[in-house]
Amino acid sequence: MRTRLKELRARDGLNQTELAKRAKVSRQTISLIEREEFIPSLLIAVRIAVIFNEAIEDIFLFDKEELE
Amino acid sequence: MRVFVMLLLGAVVGFFGMYAALSFNVIINFNSIAFAITLTLIAINVLLVGFVMVSKRQMNHMGNLVLSGEEEDMRDVWQYKRYSDMTLCSTASFLIGIGAVAISIITGQAIWLTIASSVITSIAALLSVVVSSSITKLYPERSLPSVSEKDYANKFLAASDEGERYVMLQGLYRAFTTMNNALIIALLLFIIYSVSTGDSQLFAIFVIVLVLIGANARYHLFIRKKT
């Protein structure tokens, strides 16, 4: 899974700490997702999507092989 | 085939290891070096305790700074790493302290050495509690349990989010497998030591076997229950 989290944070001028507070998770979790070391649960993915006003599939990008 | 070769290799190494241990008849007189070892352990402990105390002051100072943007993130990364270092050092200090007290008492060292090692061990134990409780100051907005609360470890796990739990799981699983292997190696060392010196370590061997069985049973029974 790839993610556009860093790009979207830069777009909205949010640091990891602020995004973490809004998504009600720790900064460590945001950092893990950004480094693509951890796939978040649906709940956190939805929260992040709402914060950036984007669709989940436009933030978390999966390869075709991963979805098959 | 590979497993067979590994088993054969293990058997050959084990045979010659035991043969060598039986032939050399090693004599280790701990009493002659106990004073130096205890003193060294106390010195290491003083350094570790000093590091934890200085780090605690630095953490407090960093926590009071008003930062934003990347700097705020960098501060959190620094604090998180320093908190982990402090936890490791205070735990290591406590364990080394127990070792120092044990050596001092068992080998009948001077009373001042036993008192010194006991005092530094008590300070290390106190620091462990202080360090653990400092996480609530690090993240005041989170409802993390207090160290004095009953069932602290389970409550702390429950208060952690999914990313933190993922990291903890990886760390704990690695620690569990490392501990298993390390205790088996310790068993072998105790056996070799007992055979070569004639100084029976059967009690320690028995305790390690019980600890290994207990820890593995707890893990595997937990996994089994969750099917």
Task: Please check whether residues B49 and B122 belong to one and the same domain.
Answer: yes
Q: Which residues pair with A2 in a beta bridge?
A: A61
Instruction: Please say which residue of B152, B169, B203 terminates a domain.
Output: B152
How many domains is chain B built from?
2
Task: Please check whether residues B207 and B95 belong to one and the same domain.
Answer: no
Pick the residue of A14, A26, A34 with the most B CBs within 10 A to test the interface with B by mutation.
Answer: A26
Task: Please check whether residues B88 and B64 belong to one and the same domain.
Answer: yes
> What pLDDT digit, counting tens, does each position of B147-191 carry?
888 888 888 899 999 999 999 999 999 999 999 999 999 999 999
> Helices H, strands E: what count in chain B?
7, 0
How many domains is chain A built from?
1
Q: Find, in chain B, the residue whose alpha carbon is nearest to that of A32.
A: B163
Residues of chain A neighbouring B164 (CB-CB closer than 8 A): 26, 28-29
- The predicted pLDDT at position B141 comes to 83
> What pLDDT digit, counting tens, does each position of B188-206 carry?
999 999 998 888 999 999 9
Task: Please check whether residues B23 and B96 belong to one and the same domain.
Answer: yes
Shortest distance between the Cα of A5 and any Cα of chain B, in A, equals: 15
Residues of chain A neighbouring B160 (CB-CB closer than 8 A): 26
> Which CATH number covers residue A49?
1.10.260.40
Q: Find, in chain B, the residue whose alpha carbon is nearest to that of A12.
A: B69
Task: Please check whether residues B13 and B102 belong to one and the same domain.
Answer: yes
Q: How far apart are CA B126 and CA A16, in angstroms?
A: 33
Instruction: Please say which residue of B85, B118, B152 terminates a domain.
Output: B152
Q: State the amino acid at position B119 in one-letter form.
A: V
In a domain, A24, yes or no: yes
State the residue range of the domain holding A20.
2-57
Task: Please check whether residues B48 and B94 belong to one and the same domain.
Answer: yes
Q: Find, in chain A, the residue whose alpha carbon is nearest to that of B81.
A: A28
Task: Please check whether residues B86 and B56 belong to one and the same domain.
Answer: yes
Task: Please check whether residues B61 and B126 belong to one and the same domain.
Answer: yes
Spatial CA neighbour of B127 closest among B50, B206, B213, B226: B50
φ, ψ for residue A15, nearest 5 deg: -90, 175
pLDDT band at residue B29, thresholds of 50, 70 and 90?
confident
Percentage of chain B with pLDDT > 90?
Answer: 66
Are the Cβ atoms of B162 and A41 closer than 8 angstroms? yes
Sign of CA dihedral B97, B137, B135, B73: negative
Pick the residue of B161, B167, B169 with the most A CBs within 10 A to test the interface with A by mutation.
Answer: B161
State the residue range of the domain holding B189.
160-227
Say how many Å lie between the first and final Cα of chain A, rounded. 13
Task: Please check whether residues B88 and B197 belong to one and the same domain.
Answer: no
